[in-house]
A and B are shown apart, each in its own frame.
Chain A
Amino acid sequence: MNTIYILWLRQLKRYLRSRSRIIGSIGQPLLFLVALGFGLGPIFKRAGDGNYIDFLAPGVIAQGILFTAIFTGIELIWDRQFGFLKETLVAPVSRFQIMLGRTIGGATIATIQGVIIFFLTLLVGFRPYSLAMLPIALVIMFLTALFFTALGTAIASTLDDMQGFQLIMNFLVLPLFFLSGSLFPLKGAPALLTLIAKFDPLTYGVDALRSSLANVTQFGLVNDIAILGILTAIILYIGSKLFSKIEI
């Protein structure tokens, strides 16, 4: 328990101390909200799909969580190359606890990031449909963050330098985002696109968020949470196996 706590605390301290990182990570979602939200809003409305900002806001929150979560997971490569990982790996604690502490720490950061973006969406005019649903939205954010931090950690466990980093950003993170239905409704999209989206875990995070914040859903809140929960358990298991195999 103490092990998990101290690893969590370390992640959090590092995050809170890098103000540039916090500010920098707000730029992208803001861009999406302003350019897409205001740019595509009129078309969306004309097509009879309602207020685009309401639709987009949960998607952009999910995007912020996705990017931050994968990134904090992948930061493991840096700990490895800059040496700090060795300090944790020679300590008399189980690798599973180390991996879990790191992952929960990363997920907490990504959730904070999601909350910051939530406040940004309020600035551009988004209004959640029910205040009572906000705690549930927070849980969904954390679950989504947990999944993607664990995914980033699992991937980073198999890489030993930064060569793969760009590859992951371009061929994993961006497709995960664009194909998830964060930006457009899956309902009415071409069948192939909808099919692909169903294999994208972010789809369920976005759908659950949209359900709790904007009362719009494709698969139903309970299904979304169940799928996310199962996927998270699986990736935590795989991740801890990969993590425990790390040799330095």
Chain B
Amino acid sequence: MDKAIEVKSLVKKFNDFVAVNDISFDVKRGEIFAFLGPNGAGKTTTIKMLTTLLHPTSGQILVNGYDPVKDQNNVRKSFGIVFQDPSLDDELTTYENMEFHGVLYGLDKKLMTNRIEELLNIVDLWDRKDSLVKTFSGGMRRRLEIARGLLHHPKVFFLDEPSLGLDPQTRTHLWNYVKDLNKKENITIFFTTHYMEEAERVAERIAVIDHGKIVAHGTLDELKKHTSTNTLEEAFLKLTGTEIREEEAGAADHLRMARRMWRRK
């Protein structure tokens, strides 16, 4: 089994809208794989299907050799994830968020305690372990989410726009750490980003998705050659066009308003 992820003819429809339209690709074990595309291309939807949160409309998926539809538990044990949107409990402390995760993943108490300390030290949050997450900046939250996602020693690590809203220092730090992790523990990395220079620097292979279709995939050099361009950014724009994609204001935005008003009461 040299494939960490295998996807064949994957389709996801929301009613009549086709968000992911018959895509196929694979990710090798131990590889750093970038999944790029404009807003609304279908990246997050694909990740949700890979991670058992959404059922595919059709097609086959294997993550670490297991099927996310039929064999959810084995798939779930084998990956870690940093979601695009926040996923921490604001009312809990750093340590409590980690502990919650460890218990859900059935970790041994003693191993868990050691691993939490180790990971929080790596992401520089150990001295904030008893602070409530609601007092944290975006960068601190991201770091905590990364530490949490790694707590149970996943084989595949999904990062959906992990550098969104981070300053350049934190981003550099984050990618150095992820690269290191990939090398030392041979963890497969599957990530999305809008920063082309990040993908250029760390990804071994890249797939570009647009309007639910994979429009190109291969190594950086292959993509540049294929599009006769000199940088990934140029290749990306050539593949996906220059038209601006609106990000929809989803239910979450409305809710944020509602909650703010609720709290004021």
Contact = CB atoms under 8 A, between A and B. Distances in A.
B103 A92 contact: no
B87 A87 contact: yes
Contact of A81 (B88, B92, B255): B255
Interface string B210-253: 00000000000000000000000000000000000000000110
A19 interface: no
Nearest to B254: A161
Contact of A162 (B55, B72, B76, B258): B258
B124 to A, nearest CB: 21
Contacts of A87: 87-89, 100-101, 148
Interface string B74-117: 10110101010111111110001001110111100000000000
Interface in A44-101: 77-78, 81-84, 86-93
Given A6-B103, A13-B96, A17-B91, A89 B255 contact: no
Interface band, chain A: 20 to 34
B86 A82 contact: yes
B8 interface: no
Among A2, A17, A91, A247: residue with most chain B CB under 10 A: A91
Contacts of B101: 87, 91
B122 interface: no
Contact of A90 (B76, B259, B265): B76
A89 B52 CA distance: 8
A86 B76 contact: no
B103 A90 contact: no
B9 interface: no
Nearest to A165: B258
A10 B83 contact: no
A3 B251 contact: no
B181 interface: no
A247 B55 contact: yes
Given A78-B255, A82-B86, A86-B53, A93 B91 contact: no
B202 interface: no
B193 interface: no
Contacts of A3: 103-104
B73 interface: yes
B87 A92 contact: no
A191 interface: no
Nearest to B134: A17
Contacts of B86: 82-83
Nearest to A159: B251
Contacts of A89: 52-53
B21 interface: no
A67 to B, nearest CB: 14
A10 to B, nearest CB: 6
A1 B3 CA distance: 35
Given A89-B53, A92-B77, A247-B55, A81 B252 contact: yes
B51 interface: yes
B83 A86 contact: yes
A78 B259 CA distance: 8
A162 B81 CA distance: 27
Contacts of B91: 13-14, 17-18
Among B81, B91, B259: residue with most chain A CB under 10 A: B91
A59 to B, nearest CB: 25
Nearest to B53: A248
Interface in A159-175: 160-163, 165
Contacts of B72: 92
B48 interface: yes
The 10 A-B pairs with the shortest beta carbon distances in the complex, nearest first, are A161-B251, A91-B104, A92-B76, A83-B87, A6-B103, A81-B255, A162-B258, A83-B86, A92-B77, A14-B91
16 contacts: A2-B103, A10-B100, A14-B89, A17-B91, A82-B90, A83-B88, A84-B87, A84-B88, A86-B83, A86-B85, A86-B87, A89-B53, A92-B106, A161-B251, A162-B258, A162-B259
Interface of A: 2-3, 5-6, 10, 13-14, 17-18, 24, 77-78, 81-84, 86-93, 160-163, 165, 247-248
Given A81-B252, A248-B53, A248-B54, 20 more contacts: A5-B103, A6-B104, A10-B100, A78-B259, A82-B252, A82-B255, A83-B86, A83-B88, A84-B87, A86-B83, A89-B52, A89-B53, A91-B76, A92-B72, A92-B76, A161-B251, A161-B254, A162-B254, A162-B259, A165-B258
